[in-house]
Amino acid sequence: MTPEVEDALATMASVNNEFFYWMSIALMMLIHAGFLAYEVGASRSKNVLATAMKNLLAFATIVASFFFVGWFLYNAMPSGFIEFNDAAKAALPWSDNMGPNTADSGSGIFWGAFALFAATTGSIMSGAVLERIRTSGFLVLTVLVGSVTWIIGAAWGWHGAGWMLTKLGFHDVGAAGCVHMIAGFAALGILINLGPRIGRFRADGTAVTIRPHNLPLTMLGLFLIFTGFFGFLMGCVIYGADGYATIYASPTTLSAFAFNTLMALAGGIIGAYLTSRGEPFWTISGGLAGVIGCASGLDLYHPALTFILGLGAGALIPYIGKLLEKFKIDDVVGAFSVHGGIGLYSVLMAGVFLSGYPNTDGNPSITLWGQAVGALVFAALGFFPTYFLSLLLKKVGLLRIPKEVEEQGLDLSEVPATPYPEGIPVTVMPVNGGKALVGTMEVK
């Protein structure tokens, strides 16, 4: 082969590699379109624009802060502590690699894919806290999770040199732990301090359903998330001239991801349909739970097993939601159920069904013990930082909106626009005494 041909092939491989991750970023943008529609539909009509704006601002603040902080942490902390190695220095915002140079033209592509992962963590939390959190307080919390805590977890457990892989044999190719579990437990930490929406629970503790103002829009949003998830999973593999590898550099194929993602999606929908008795919101959320429930082992599972695990994951989420209600925790979209609880399920199931399977050369094999320790680390990394920061924000009055603003709706106080100028859809909310709230009017 002549040098000219070798150069041409190398150039083609580089272009293909960049285009692969470019499309990953583009598809992941659909996740955020989906979350926006999902949350707008789940809100009452008096809060739809404030909900949409919160999603837009979360995306923008996380992408910006991830450029300045997050990418450095991922490259500096695989050992567990900050190290100024060559990769970390190249990820500093003033590095030549963090700009439009030609020496490493792929650096921005890889950063972009991870920035979209980071933004996803903020979107996961966003739905849980709808209709009563201050935008300022939320943005502080979402930047903490999107640009600090999740990416530390990724450096530890989702990196070829991460200490959780090298010491424990931890396996989580689809980021069920470092993205979904951390974001879900982060949401739980906030919800404990934030408290439920007005009218969500009666004086005797009985839960009251506050219905979405547009359930079809919520379901459409989830289907957009399903579509975007294929871009998410593209970002979970390493693509090069020699083929595909997992984030840990072990060999894999897109075929494995295609089989298992679709079977998990189908299983999750069916499982949630059965246990929720056909409730539409839980049924379609079951699809997302199914994929997350199998994400840790997508590269190694058989599709039949993936279907069964997805079925179990979808079946679990209505019960996790009911458990939260017993503690008077108001998670509007079931974010902890789908992401936190099922992220934990995914990490542990990989330990059960993949125990003894070899990891990359020189690293321990997969074990249930290693997966359990990793899950504990991710739960703590998700929960405690947001719990304590949200508690501080609560103490200084920056966490929750005033009662009168919540009753009237955030759109009237926070957004200089009207979502439905030609008529406001009626949102009925049962409250104590058998009454109901229609918009801002009380009806017997």
In a domain, 305, yes or no: yes
**More confident site: 240 or 302:** 302
Is the predicted pLDDT of residue 246 greater than 90, yes or no? Answer: yes
CA dist., res. 349 & res. 311, Å (int): 13
pLDDT at 266: 98
CA dist., res. 141 & res. 58, Å (int): 10
pLDDT at 346: 98
Helix %, strand %, coil % of the chain (to 5): 65, 5, 30
pLDDT band at 233 (very low <50, low <70, confident <90, very high): very high
pLDDT at 356: 95
Classify the C-alpha dihedral 235-236-239-243 as positive or negative: negative
Given the structure tokens 């000219």, which residue do they identify?
4
Is the predicted pLDDT of residue 426 greater than 60, yes or no? Answer: no
Classify the C-alpha dihedral 273-279-284-288 as positive or negative: negative
pLDDT at 3: 75
Nearest-CA neighbor of 343 among 308, 369, 319, 374?
374
pLDDT at 420: 80
Tens of pLDDT, residue by residue over 133-142, are 999 999 999 9
pLDDT band at 240 (very low <50, low <70, confident <90, very high): confident
pLDDT at 15: 73
Structure tokens at 326: 């017993």
141's CB contacts (< 8 A; 6+ apart) are 125, 186, 190, 386, 389, 390, 393
In a domain, 21, yes or no: yes
Residue 319 φ then ψ, to 5°? -70, -40
Q: Exposed/middle/buried for 443, CB within 10 Å: 0-12, 13-18, 19+?
A: exposed
In a domain, 250, yes or no: yes
pLDDT at 16: 79
In a domain, 413, yes or no: no
In a domain, 417, yes or no: no
In a domain, 317, yes or no: yes
Per-position b or e across 221-240, b if 16+ CB within 10 A of its CB: bbbbbbebbbbbbbbbbbbe
Q: What domain range includes position 234?
A: 9-404
In a domain, 411, yes or no: no
Q: Read out DSSP for 45-65?
A: GGGHHHHHHHHHHHHHHHHHH
pLDDT at 9: 56
pLDDT at 105: 59
Beta carbons of 313 and 338 less than 8 angstroms apart:
no
**More confident site: 183 or 434:** 183
Tens of pLDDT, residue by residue over 364-378, are 999 999 999 999 999
pLDDT at 438: 37
Give this prediction's pTM.
0.92
Q: Say which DSSP state 443 is in.
A: E
CA dist., res. 240 & res. 321, Å (int): 42
- The lowest-confidence range among 198-207, 241-250, 325-334 is 241-250
Q: In 204-294, at which residue ranges do the beta strands (DSSP E only) sit?
A: 237-240, 243-246, 251-252
The total of structural domains in the chain comes to 1
Across all residues in the chain, what is the average pLDDT?
91
Given the structure tokens 């056909």, which residue do they identify?
278
Q: Which of 14-23, 233-242, 378-387 has the highest mean pLDDT?
A: 378-387
Over residues 59-74, the mean pLDDT reads 97
Beta carbons of 142 and 86 less than 8 angstroms apart:
no
215's CB contacts (< 8 A; 6+ apart) are 41, 280, 281
237's CB contacts (< 8 A; 6+ apart) are 244, 245, 246, 247, 252, 254, 257
Structure tokens at 35: 């979350």
Beta carbons of 427 and 439 less than 8 angstroms apart:
yes
pLDDT at 413: 84
pLDDT band at 430 (very low <50, low <70, confident <90, very high): very low
Please report, rounded to a whole number, the percentage of residues in the chain having pLDDT higher than 90.
82
In a domain, 436, yes or no: no
pLDDT at 6: 65
Over residues 422-435, the mean pLDDT reads 49
Please report, rounded to a whole number, the percentage of residues in the chain having pLDDT higher than 70.
91
CA dist., res. 212 & res. 430, Å (int): 13
Tens of pLDDT, residue by residue over 14-59, are 777 888 999 999 999 999 999 999 999 999 999 999 999 999 999 9
422's CB contacts (< 8 A; 6+ apart) are none
pLDDT band at 439 (very low <50, low <70, confident <90, very high): very low
**More confident site: 220 or 106:** 220
Q: Read out DSSP for 311-346?
A: HHHHHHHHHHHHHHHHTT---TT-HIIIIIIHHHHH
CATH number of the domain within which 218 lies: 1.10.3430.10
Q: Read out DSSP for 104-149?
A: TTTHHHHHHHHHHHHHHHHHHHHHHTTTTB-HHHHHHHHHHIIIII
pLDDT at 96: 86
